């Protein structure tokens, strides 16, 4: 018995931007980008919201559109849980999963977001599987909690909206998209055989993206900021915008536009990525007792084709065991693994009974893998 993937889909924004177009923005060229990353183009969400992309991917995974791979189409009321892995949701509240639940009419589902950067989908799948296993096992107290039998797990990102388009070392890497998987607890199939998720301290600050919710706060370390008080000892906050205190450094600092773009030290992340990927693969093999030679397909996070090639070499595996999907999508963070999984299913690379590993790494640092029987 286990948590089994029964549907998978992906969605990309309409606009595809080639490397040559990026050479109009920064000093770069197609040859450098292709050689160093394996990326030729990426899709950029201009008109699509994150919810639009997640909805299209989810519809494909649920069998509600012909674009995905699906063993059995489900009805909206069948879904008990929606987890959206993202760090670029359309809003903080409602969550991306909540918006998706509403769009799809999943009346019975609970829905929440999870941020583990590019490893988000692997984390989300692990959380969904753990909730389902606990629900199925009837662990002490499970009867008093939400029964979770089927879940929709989505990775959706609009990374190009947190990209510094003047930074050639990062802007050539990222793209937008969404991938989705439908999982079901099946008494007759093993499904997920092992998972491994890990946080490692990023003490060098090699990968980060600050948030932007910097609404002015009328306080300093001692309480209500004295510079904001009017003659009567009150803060005329509602009637007087803080920006009008032109001479107030405290307020001025709060008015600075937030810099909400991804910062990355590529070489440090590259080193972390190759080590994290090989470790996560070894750990799920150990935990499941499956031999590496019995794995039919590895679906890695698509951050850089060179990272995947390096990991394949380190593991002594042929590159064709790995699903390579980066060429026309770039790095789509949490959407990357489910989109590559959808590609692998669409290409007929994964057949019933196959042992498959999904593996990812990302900011935080986070890393992890899931080994499942299809």
- Residues at the contact surface with ligand COA, assessed by CB under 6 A: 28, 32-33, 36-37, 118, 168-169, 172, 207, 264, 266-267, 269-270, 273, 303-304, 307, 331, 361-362
Check: CB of residue 359 under 8 Å from CB of residue 121.
Answer: no
CB of 88 to ligand COA, least distance (A): 13
Residue 275 backbone phi and psi in degrees, to 5: -70, -45
Please enumerate in sequence order all residues whose Cβ is within 8 A of that of 229, keeping only pairs 6 or more positions apart, or say none. 235
CB of 234 to ligand COA, least distance (A): 48
- What does the alpha-carbon distance between residue 304 and residue 294 come to, in Å, rounded to a whole number? 25
Residue 29 is a catalytic residue: no
* Residue closer to ligand COA, measured from CB, 63 or 179: 179
CB of 198 to ligand COA, least distance (A): 14
Catalytic residue from among 70, 209, 301, 304: 301
* Residue closer to ligand COA, measured from CB, 32 or 263: 32
Catalytic residue from among 118, 171, 209, 297: 118
Catalytic residue from among 19, 115, 304, 331: 331
228 in helix, strand or coil?
helix
Residue 118 is a catalytic residue: yes
How does strand 263-264 pair with strand 207-208? Answer: antiparallel
How far is Cα of residue 341 from the mean position of the Cα atoms in its chain? Answer: 13
* Residue closer to ligand COA, measured from CB, 159 or 193: 159
CB of 304 to ligand COA, least distance (A): 4
* Residue closer to ligand COA, measured from CB, 3 or 273: 273
Contacts 24+ apart (CB under 8 A), 315-324: 315/278, 315/281, 317/292, 321/295, 321/296, 321/297, 322/297, 322/298, 323/297, 323/298, 323/299, 323/349, 324/38
How far is Cα of residue 220 from the mean position of the Cα atoms in its chain? Answer: 36
The full DSSP string for 41-67 is: EEEE-SS--HHHHHHHHHHHHHTSSTT
* Residue closer to ligand COA, measured from CB, 39 or 371: 39
Q: How is residue 307 annotated by DSSP?
A: H
CB of 125 to ligand COA, least distance (A): 17
* Residue closer to ligand COA, measured from CB, 288 or 331: 331
Torsional class of 38: left (φ above 0), alpha (ψ -120 to 50), beta (otherwise): left
CB of 166 to ligand COA, least distance (A): 12
Residue nearest to ligand COA (CB): 266
| CA angle, residues 165, 261, 23, in degrees to nearest 5 | 15
CB of 279 to ligand COA, least distance (A): 15
- 69: tokens are 């791979």
- What does the alpha-carbon distance between residue 24 and residue 70 come to, in Å, rounded to a whole number? 41
- 120: tokens are 């988000």
* Residue closer to ligand COA, measured from CB, 37 or 115: 37
Residue 301 is a catalytic residue: yes
Tell me which residues are annotated as active site.
Answer: 118, 301, 331
């Amino acid at each position: 018995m286990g948590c089994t993937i029964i549907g998978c889909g992906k969605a990309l924004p309409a606009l595809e931007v080639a490397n040559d177009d990026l050479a109009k923005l920064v000093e770069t060229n197609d040859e450098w980008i292709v050689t160093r990353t394996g990326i030729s183009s990426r899709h950029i969400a201009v008109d699509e919201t994150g919810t639009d992309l997640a909805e299209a991917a989810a519809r494909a995974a649920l069998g509600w559109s012909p674009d995905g791979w699906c063993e059995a189409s489900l009805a909206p009321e069948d879904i008990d849980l929606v987890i959206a892995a993202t760090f670029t949701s359309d809003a903080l509240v409602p969550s991306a999963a909540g918006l998706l639940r509403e769009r799809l009419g999943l009346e019975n589902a609970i829905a929440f977001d999870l941020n583990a950067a590019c490893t988000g989908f692997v984390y989300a799948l692990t959380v969904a599987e753990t909730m389902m296993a606990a629900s199925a096992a009837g662990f002490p107290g499970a009867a008093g909690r939400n029964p979770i039998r089927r879940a929709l797990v989505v990775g959706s990102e609009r990374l190009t909206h947190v990209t510094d388009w003047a930074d050639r070392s990062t802007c050539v890497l990222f793209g937008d998209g969404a991938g989705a998987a439908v999982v079901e607890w099946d008494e007759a199939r093993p499904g997920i055989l092992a998972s491994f998720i890990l946080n490692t301290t990023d003490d060098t600050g090699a990968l980060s993206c600050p948030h932007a919710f910097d609404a002015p706060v009328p306080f300093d370390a001692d309480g209500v900021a004295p510079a904001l008080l009017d003659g009567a000892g009150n803060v005329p906050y509602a009637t007087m915008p803080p920006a009008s205190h032109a001479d107030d450094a405290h307020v001025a600092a709060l008015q600075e536009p937030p810099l909400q773009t991804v910062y990355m030290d590529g070489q440090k992340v590259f080193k972390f990525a190759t080590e994290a990927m090989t470790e996560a693969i070894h750990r799920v093999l150990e935990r499941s007792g499956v031999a590496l030679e019995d794995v039919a397909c590895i679906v890695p996070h698509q951050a850089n084709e060179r990272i995947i090639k390096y990991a394949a070499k380190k593991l002594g595996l042929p590159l064709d065991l790995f699903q390579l999907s980066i060429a026309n999508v770039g790095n789509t963070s949490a959407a990357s693994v489910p989109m590559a999984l959808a590609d692998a299913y669409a290409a007929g690379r994964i057949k019933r009974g196959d042992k498959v590993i999904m593996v990812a790494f990302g900011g935080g640092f986070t890393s992890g893998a899931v080994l499942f029987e299809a």
